[in-house]
Structures are given as structure tokens and as C-alpha cells.
Amino acid sequence: MKDLIQKAAEALLQSRHAIALTGAGISTESGIPDFRGPDGLWTKNPEAERMAYESYFKFQKNPREYWIERLTGPSILGDLEKAAPNPGHLALAELEQMEILKCVITQNIDNLHQKAGSKKVLDYHGNMSLLRCYSCDARFDPRQFDLERLFREDRLPPLCPRCNGVLKSDIVHFHEAIPMDVADQSQEEALKCDLMLICGTSATVFPFALLPRMARQRSLGQGTMIIEINAGPTPLTQEKISDFLIQGRTGEILPLIVQEVRKSWSKNRH
Ligand code: APR
């Protein structure tokens, strides 16, 4: 393990454009369950997964009902507002402050990278603290809309101040397209990076799982380093898309990597 941590730290120090891809595994140490791990939401409750596959169709069919459910029903991930970033999130934010990490592309909707201080975050599956217009993709802070009052006065769904389209949560549901702006920027980063850290994801959900493959494809012979940090191997490990896997908890391994980086990092390196 120690040598893999050193190898990862050296690669970060050598990198010109390092990025990180993250999944639910990086937030389990913040008390938010993942989906497909041994204690994952879908692993334990396949019915909940089946329901999640219907959310988008429900919204398209009856946005008012969708909103009533969102405002009155329980959140399957618990109270995300109260969740706090853990040492894994903080380590990535620190690498950004050191100008080594250029961007985080996350599948998580929990806003914890932003809470940890990361500035360049692409929310690939949306962000629970935002609303997005179904027609023009504009995003808004939900506090602008007094949703409780719209509910009381039976005036749901909230409408877009720009185009009068229907607003939904910014969360990207199954069957829903990844918003164009985030999809384009993420692909650009994956094609530009010379180091990709992949943290806490089963890498089984597409199109996100294409990003490492794009980086590998583009880099054939040009040496993009792809490093996984995960509780166990993933298809990226098995298919040798990644160069190596550091097996363990992101909240423990990422701070150790930053510690190693700090030993030989100097301000004028990057
Ligand atoms: N450290 C490292 N790895 C961890 C940790 C941890 N503390 N906790 C869990 N893991 C691993 C699990 O073993 C699993 O391999 O992280 C991975 C999480 O995988 P998933 O549960 O499949 O989550 P993710 O890859 O983010 O899912 C992708 O699927 O359900 C949808 O929209 C949802 O964004 C989500 C997407």
C-alpha cells in the first residue's frame, strides 16, 4: 500500500493536468449510503432502485405529483443538507488549492465537494441544492421560489423565471440526459487530463463510466495515468483501463497521498 501511495503522489507532482472522478464511495464516511456496495441502498432495497428508475417518467407525466412527492416524501439518501465533508473530500480540495488538481467530476448530488472547498466541481448527476429548468436547462437556487407556499396554494410545479418552463430538481434521474454543459465540460476534462484519480465508484453507470475509457483511448502511448481508489476492484480494474487500484477507504488513503505530495511539493512547481 505504502508504495502505491508514493507512486500516486509522484504522479500527482509530475502531472500537468490532474483531475478526479468521484462516486458515492467518497461520501459513505460522511454517513451517506452508497448504492451497490455491501451496505448499498440498491443492494439492500432493490424495490427502491426500481422506483428510482421511474422518477423521470413520473416527472414527465405529472410534474405536480412529482413535486408533491419531493416535498412530502422521505429522501432515500437521508438528510443530505446536514451531511459534512470527510477527509477524502478535504484532501481533494487541498490538492486543488495546491493547483495540482484542476477539476472534480462527481456523480454525487450531495454538494460535499463544494462544502469541502473545491471550486471547480462538475456535478455530472446534478446537485440536490439546485433546481433546473426542463426546457432551457437554467439552474436556480430553490430558496427563490418559496416551494412550501406553492404547495399550500396548490400552485406546483414551480416555473422558470426565464422561459416559463417547468422546473425540476437539478438531480439527473435514470433515463434523463446529462445536461449538455456538464457533459461537454466533463468530456473536455477527460480528454485533456494526464492524470485521473477515480475515487469511490463502482464505475458501472454510463455515460459517466465512459470518461475513464475516453481518457485511456486518447492517451494510448501518451501516458495518461489512471489511478483507482476504491474498497474493491471495478470493471476499470478488470479491463485494465486503470493503471492500478489502491484498495481501501478514500477518507484514509487520499489524506495519506496529500501528505506524501506535501513532502516534496513547492509553490512554484505548477
Ligand atoms: N472508500 C472507498 N470505496 C468505497 C467506500 C469508501 N469509504 N465506500 C464505498 N466504496 C465503494 C463501494 O464498494 C463501491 O464499489 O464505492 C463504490 C460505490 O459504488 P456505487 O454504490 O455503485 O456508487 P456510484 O458508482 O457513485 O453510482 C453511480 O448510480 O445509482 C446511481 O445516480 C446514482 O450517481 C449514482 C450512480
- Which pLDDT tens digits describe the chain residue by residue (270 residues)? 999 999 999 999 999 999 999 999 999 999 999 999 999 999 999 999 999 999 999 999 999 999 999 999 888 788 888 999 999 999 999 999 999 999 999 999 999 999 999 999 999 999 999 999 999 999 999 999 999 999 999 999 999 999 999 999 999 999 999 999 999 999 999 999 999 999 999 999 999 999 999 999 876 656 799 999 999 999 999 999 999 999 999 999 999 999 999 998 865 554
For residue 90, give every residue at least 6 positions away whose Cβ sits within 8 Å of its Cβ, in sequence order, or none: 116, 117, 255
What is the C-alpha radius of gyration for the chain, rounded to an integer number of angstroms? Answer: 19
User: What's the gap between Cα 37 and its chain centre?
Assistant: 16
User: Residue whose CA is closest, atom 17 of ligand 1?
Assistant: 201
Rounded to the nearest angstrom, the distance between the alpha carbon of 270 and the centre of ligand 1 is: 31
Cβ-proximal residues to 40 (8 Å cutoff; 6+ apart), any chain = 24, 33, 34
| Exposure string for 21-36, b = 16+ CB within 10 A, e = fewer | bbbbbbbbbbebbbbb
pLDDT at position 222 is 60
Backbone angles phi, psi at 68, to 5 degrees: -60, -40
- Give the DSSP letter of residue 174: T
How far away, in angstroms, is 32 Cα from ligand 1 center? 10
C-alpha–C-alpha distance, residues 85 and 91, integer Å: 10
Q: Give me the pLDDT at residue 267, please.
A: 55
| The ligand 1 atom nearest the CA atom of 124 | 34
pLDDT at 223: 74
Specify the residue with its C-alpha closest to ligand 1, atom 30.
35
Ligand 1 surroundings by CB, under 6 angstroms: 23-25, 28-29, 34-37, 40, 107, 125, 200-202, 204-205, 230-232, 249-251
